[in-house]
């Protein structure tokens, strides 16, 4: 209880400011929220409706806030919990408008039941534009308040209509229900057996909350005067070790059992590094391995390695691509041989990886960042190796979680991975490459390709390009949106104008598609 006292005091002080936003789809106060986070001062984002633009701004605020306290590994879980709470808050606000128009008293039980029979179909689920417009013009808003005090980070979703006693009772019952499940798959099975499905989103959000090690008292929903507050208290010293222990055995065992990196490829890499070696000597060494020859030619002619004409022999591949390019292809081929031999059903992941590599290469060309385009393409190609391994580790639970994603709209695959295993595929990929003693630069790129803000200065450009290529591939598959792209990356490449980004994306996609045909 003490953990929330500061919040109630702050709400008392700021209640008079919780009123309508004007002109913009959202307001952030102070406007330079990054500076506020760096100074560990409070800030908030406030809005009427949950548009794509608002969603993107919320995600960026949460990411930067958690990253400042080295809690990046729970960002996806917290984002999805907050999104569910925001949807519930906006739904509550829209409900008030609907009842007023229908001339129903929301505080009277019978009239409440009458209104709820048609509210979802006529207003909320139908996304009725008339009601959305009225909500935009109203004084009913939702605020997400960020504040650090003592040992806790407080993240609170507030809307300025009081929750009904009956609604609060239902929510508390759902909170208890969510915490009784032993694991998320058990919750999923029971949810499918329920005909009503009421409160499904909150139950799933709280299961995520539980699975990152948060106790029941760290979350609550309550009424404070005319406000409804969903309060989350995150300890700055999250018990990461306890969470890691659960996954350590399976992960470590899997990595230890991975075969060593192919010796023949290591020998050829050393030959490539020898300044006295000739192109013919290198080509002959590669040709001793028919499988390696086929793999390198396949990669050399893929969209990720654009050449003027089709490469049919290893000697031609070396001449056209160069020793440096062949060294890159050897590394990619070695990884492919080990991973593909051990983990089946990885074809779709590799297909995305080849596309990401081609996009990264073309982005380097388009943005005139060609200094390390080959290496950038390689990093993009190998960035999802951890995902392939992860699929094999927890295929059953991941399948169920992806079913939940399709059911509830949790489209972020990193979130599903972290619920199941406790770490992301980028972290796992870095662990694998460390086992193989890969270049630390490549490891750093793979480890940070989903968190570009953590890129060391000397690798910022490459990590930003790999991240941008990954975003474009996901946008092509309707798994991502422009609004979610990291602001620092957009600023770095002067892509803050959406049309400029879309022109680049179109040019990159067109180059890839022309190479594929």
How far is 181 from 410, CA to CA, in rounded Å? 19
Phi, psi of 430 (to 5 degrees): -65, -40
Highest mean pLDDT among 269-273, 425-429, 469-473 belongs to 469-473
* Rounded Cα gap, residues 179 and 174, in angstroms: 9
Exposure letters 225-252 (e unless 16+ CB within 10 A, then b): eebbbbbbbbbeebeeeebeeebeeebe
Residues in the chain, total: 517
CA-to-CA separations, 119 to 73, 104, 113, in angstroms, rounded: 38, 12, 10
Tens of pLDDT, residues 207-242 = 777 767 777 888 889 999 889 999 999 988 765 434
Kindly report, residue by residue over 355-377, the tens digit of the pLDDT: 999 899 899 888 877 666 778 88
Please confirm whether the linkage preceding 90 is cis (ω < 30° from 0). no
pLDDT of residue 143: 97
Output the pLDDT for position 363: 92
User: Which residue did the predictor score with more confidence, 58 or 187?
Assistant: 58
Residue-wise DSSP of 138-206: SS--EEEEEEEETTEEEEEEEESSPPPHHHHHHHHHHHHHHHH-SSHHHHHHHHHH-SS-TTHHHHHHH
Give me the pLDDT at residue 176, please: 77
Q: Which CATH superfamily is domain 244-516 in?
A: Hypothetical protein af1432 (1.10.3210.10)
Strongest mean pLDDT among 240-249, 256-265, 482-491:
482-491
3-class state of residue 33 by DSSP:
helix
DSSP for residue 45: E
- For the chain, give the percent of residues with pLDDT over 70: 77
Give residue-wise pLDDT tens across range 346-355: 777 888 888 9
User: What residue has token string 């606000």?
Assistant: 93
Q: How confident is the model at residue 289 (pLDDT cuts 50, 70, 90)?
A: confident
Lowest mean pLDDT among 50-64, 358-372, 499-513: 358-372
Residues with Cβ within 8 Å of residue 14, at least 6 apart in sequence: none
Using the predicted structure, report yes or no on whether residue 26 has a pLDDT greater than 50: yes
Least confident of 58-72, 142-156, 330-344, 428-442: 330-344
- The correct CATH number of 2-238 out of 3.40.190.10, 3.30.565.10, 3.40.50.2300, 3.40.50.300 is 3.30.565.10
Rounded to an integer, what distance in angstroms lies between the CA atom of residue 490 and that of residue 482? 10
Of 20, 85, 40, 35, nearest in space to 58 by CA:
85
pLDDT for res 490: 93
Q: Which long-range contacts (C-beta less than 8 Å, at least 24 apart) are formed by 63-70? A: 63/453, 63/486, 64/33, 64/34, 64/37, 64/453, 65/37, 65/146, 65/153, 65/155, 66/153, 67/451, 67/453, 67/454, 68/37, 68/38, 68/40, 69/148, 69/153, 69/236
Q: What is the rounded CA–CA span in Å between residue 508 and residue 495?
A: 14
What's the helix, strand, coil split of the chain in %, to 5? Answer: 65, 10, 25
Which of the two residues, 292 and 111, has the higher pLDDT score? 111
Q: Is the pLDDT of residue 187 over 90?
A: no
Domain residue limits, the chain:
2-238, 244-516
| Residue 306's pLDDT band (cuts 50, 70, 90) | low
The mean pLDDT value for 91-109 works out to 90
């Amino acid at each position: 209880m003490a953990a929330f006292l500061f919040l109630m005091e702050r709400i008392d002080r700021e209640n008079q400011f919780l009123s309508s936003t004007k002109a913009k789809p959202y307001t952030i106060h102070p406007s330079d929220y990054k500076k506020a986070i760096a100074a560990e001062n409070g800030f908030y984002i406030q809005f009427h409706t949950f548009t794509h633009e608002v969603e993107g701004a919320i995600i960026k605020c949460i990411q930067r806030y958690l990253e400042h306290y080295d809690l990046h590994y729970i960002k996806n879980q917290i984002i999805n919990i907050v999104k569910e709470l925001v949807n519930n808050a906006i739904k509550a606000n829209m409900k008030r408008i609907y009842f007023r128009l229908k001339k129903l008293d929301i505080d009277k039980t019978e009239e409440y039941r009458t209104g709820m029979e048609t509210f979802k179909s006529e207003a909320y689920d139908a996304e009725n534009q008339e009601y959305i417009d009225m909500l935009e013009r109203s004084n009913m808003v939702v605020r997400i308040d960020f504040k650090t005090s003592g040992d806790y980070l407080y993240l609170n979703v507030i809307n300025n209509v009081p929750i009904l006693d009956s609604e609060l009772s239902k929510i508390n019952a759902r909170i208890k229900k969510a915490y009784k499940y032993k694991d998320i798959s058990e919750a999923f099975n029971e949810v499918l057996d329920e005909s009503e499905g009421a409160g499904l989103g909150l139950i799933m959000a709280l299961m995520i909350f539980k699975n990152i090690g948060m106790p029941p008292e760290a979350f609550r929903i309550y009424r404070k005067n005319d406000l409804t507050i969903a309060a989350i208290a995150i300890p700055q010293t999250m018990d990461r070790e306890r969470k890691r222990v659960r996954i350590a055995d399976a992960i470590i065992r899997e990595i230890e059992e991975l075969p060593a990196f192919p010796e023949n490829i290591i020998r050829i890499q050393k030959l490539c590094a020898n300044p006295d070696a000739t192109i013919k000597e290198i080509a002959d060494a590669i040709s001793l391995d028919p499988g390696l020859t086929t793999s390198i030619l396949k990669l050399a002619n893929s969209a990720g390695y654009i050449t003027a004409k089709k490469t049919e022999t290893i000697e031609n591949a070396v001449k056209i691509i160069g020793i440096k390019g062949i060294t890159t292809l050897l590394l990619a081929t070695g990884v492919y041989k080990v991973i593909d031999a051990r983990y089946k059903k990885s074809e779709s992941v590799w297909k995305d990886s080849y596309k990401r590599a081609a996009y990264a290469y073309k982005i380097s060309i388009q943005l005139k960042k060609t200094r390390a385009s080959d290496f950038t393409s390689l990093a993009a190609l190998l960035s999802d190796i951890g995902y392939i391994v992860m699929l094999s580790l927890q295929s059953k639970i991941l399948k169920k979680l992806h079913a939940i994603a399709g059911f509830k709209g949790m489209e972020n695959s990193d979130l599903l991975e972290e619920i199941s295993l406790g770490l992301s595929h980028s972290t796992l990929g870095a662990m694998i490459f460390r086992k193989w003693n890969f270049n630390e630069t490549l490891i750093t790129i793979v480890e940070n390709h989903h968190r570009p803000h953590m890129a060391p200065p000397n690798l910022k450009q490459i990590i930003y390009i790999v991240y941008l290529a990954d975003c474009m591939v996901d946008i092509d598959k309707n798994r991502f949106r422009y609004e979610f792209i990291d602001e620092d990356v957009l600023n770095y490449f002067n892509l803050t104008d959406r049309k400029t980004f879309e022109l680049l994306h179109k040019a990159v996609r067109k180059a890839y598609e022309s190479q594929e045909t």
